[in-house]
Structure formats: C-alpha cells, structure tokens
Amino acid sequence: MKFLTTVFTAMMLALSMPAWAEVSRDAAAAAAQQTTGGRVLAVDRTERDGRPVWRVKVLTQQGEVIVVLIDAASGRRL
C-alpha cells in the first residue's frame, strides 16, 4: 500500500508541474530574432493570461528596443 501511495503521489506531482520546458530559452530567442531581424538582448520566463511565455527583449535594426512574447508551449509569437 505504501508503494502505491508513493507512485500515486509522484504521478500527481509530475502532472501538476508547469509546462515551461516545451520551448527552450534558446528556441524562444531564435524565434524572436527571426521574426524581428533584430538582436536579442534578454530572455525571461513569465506568464500571460495564465499561460507560460518567454519575454524576449530585442534591439531592432532601427535602434528601437521592443519586447516580443513567445508562447512557451508552441514557440509562436503572441
């Protein structure tokens, strides 16, 4: 019985963890760089509307600093 309780608890913990790791920090930076053509300055993990996103700060070719949000699950720009 103790074994089943341990296994059940481990399964519940695994299912309750956030899905941050589907798109890596490097992949998010690459996606932001590709869509803007700029230089990536910083990448941070955060949430938007309860969903995990990567917040990528980019210096554009025009010299502007913009923030690009990349969905952490799909890798798409929001």
Mean pLDDT by 10 residues, the chain (78 residues): 64 53 89 95 95 96 96 92
Domain harbouring 77, CATH code: 3.10.450.40
Its pTM surpasses 0.85: no
Residue 73 located in a structural domain: yes
Question: CA-CA distances (angstroms) from residue 58 to 6, 16, 33, 36, 53?
Answer: 45, 32, 7, 8, 15
pLDDT of residue 22: 86
Domain count, the chain: 1
